[in-house]
């Protein structure tokens, strides 16, 4: 029987690429976008690939997450991958940021991913299942020797910290593997045109990591090549 994944944030970029990659590897994928009507590339993928079905989820709208949970009741997943994220305000400055900016950045990148994972964890296969979060090497405190992207870094560091708390329970109670995944620096709307990696290379590496790490019952911070990233 094919493996089943739920991927959150698949309208474009890495989420769309990962949906395509897992479907090509024979997985059945439930792929969510917050605005399905405008997610044309995702719609086209689902039209070509019967193993991809579409749903909606907006990380900034708690009611949307509850509604998703209700629609998915009874479904069991080998993988829940929360990919969606934003970079935050262009200024990236603690001096200039507003409550609204930092609130949205933290809710979207750190709070809601872990909240949604907690809601869905009873539907992740015990012992062999994986919950993965798309974080960033920029969330590594140890690796930050250059500064820059200060607010985005803080949001991913917060995601990593909240993920560890989530992992303690998820691993302890259900033997689930928890991954904080750095995709590399990738050419997407967020990564920009100067990034060295294309989406296909990053998501192929991530899919390999997912297949290798299933059943490891740990929380690891790894990149798309499976290499450990320092916390
Ligand atoms: N690209 C890189 O170099 C890089 C490096 C490290 C980490 N990452 C991380 O990788 C993930 C994907 O990034 P990307 O490069 O593919 O970026 P992207 O092209 O900007 O795509 C971001 C995705 O997140 C979705 N999203 C944003 N806010 C959302 C919300 N509130 N609810 C639901 N979905 C939401 C977007 O949906 P809409 O289309 O509706 O906006 C889109 O599908 C992010 O978590 C990012 O931080 C990327």
Taken in order of first residue, the domains within the chain and their CATH numbers are 4-223 (3.40.50.720)
DSSP state of 134: E
pLDDT at 93: 97
Distance 1 CA to ligand 1 centre (A): 30
Among 81, 85, 182, name the best residue to mutate to test ligand 1's pocket (greatest count of ligand atoms within 8 A of Cβ).
85
- What's the CA gap between 19 and 46, in Å, rounded? 10
Distance 12 CA to ligand 1 centre (A): 8
pLDDT at 1: 82
Q: Is the distance from CB of 19 to CB of 204 less than 8 angstroms?
A: no
- What's the CA gap between 43 and 40, in Å, rounded? 5
pLDDT at 218: 95
**21-54 burial string, b = 16+ CB within 10 Å, else e?**
bbbeeebbbbbbbbebeebebbeebbeebeebeb
- What's the CA gap between 223 and 209, in Å, rounded? 8
In a structure prediction context, what are the per-residue pLDDT tens digits for the chain, which is 231 residues long? Answer: 899 999 999 999 999 999 999 999 999 999 999 999 999 999 999 999 999 999 999 999 999 999 999 999 999 999 999 999 999 999 999 999 999 999 999 999 999 999 999 999 999 999 999 999 999 999 999 999 999 999 999 999 999 999 999 999 999 999 999 999 999 999 999 999 999 999 999 999 999 999 999 999 999 999 999 999 999
**Is the CB–ligand 1 distance for residue 86 below 6 Å?**
yes
- What's the CA gap between 96 and 150, in Å, rounded? 12
Distance 162 CA to ligand 1 centre (A): 19
**Is the CB–ligand 1 distance for residue 17 below 6 Å?**
no
**Is the CB–ligand 1 distance for residue 9 below 6 Å?**
yes
Q: Which residues contact 185 (CB under 8 A, 6 or more apart)?
A: 191, 195, 196, 197
**Is the CB–ligand 1 distance for residue 220 below 6 Å?**
no
Global pTM exceeds 0.95 = yes
**Is the CB–ligand 1 distance for residue 223 below 6 Å?**
no
């Amino acid at each position: 029987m094919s493996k089943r994944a739920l991927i959150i944030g698949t309208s474009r970029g890495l989420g769309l690429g990962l949906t395509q990659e897992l479907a090509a590897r024979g997985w059945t994928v439930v792929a969510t976008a917050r605005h399905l009507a405008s997610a044309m590339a995702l719609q086209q993928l689902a039209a070509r690939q019967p193993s991809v079905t579409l749903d909606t989820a907006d990380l900034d709208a708690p009611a949307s997450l509850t509604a998703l949970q209700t629609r998915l009741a009874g479904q069991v997943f080998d993988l829940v991958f929360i990919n969606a994220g934003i970079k935050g305000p262009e200024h990236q400055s603690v001096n200039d940021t507003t409550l609204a900016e930092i609130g949205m950045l933290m809710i979207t990148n750190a709070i809601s991913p872990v909240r949604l994972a907690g809601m869905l964890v009873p539907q992740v296969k015990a012992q062999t299942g994986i919950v993965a979060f798309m974080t960033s090497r920029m969330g590594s405190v140890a690796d930050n020797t250059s500064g820059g992207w200060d607010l985005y870094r803080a949001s991913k560091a917060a995601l990593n910290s909240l993920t560890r708390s989530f992992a303690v329970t998820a691993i302890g109670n259900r033997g689930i593997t928890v991954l904080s995944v750095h995709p590399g620096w990738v050419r997407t709307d967020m990564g920009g045109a100067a990034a060295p990696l294309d989406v296909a290379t990053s998501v192929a590496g991530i899919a390999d990591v997912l297949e290798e790490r299933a059943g490891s019952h740990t929380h690891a911070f790894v990149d798309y090549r499976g290499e450990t990233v320092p916390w």
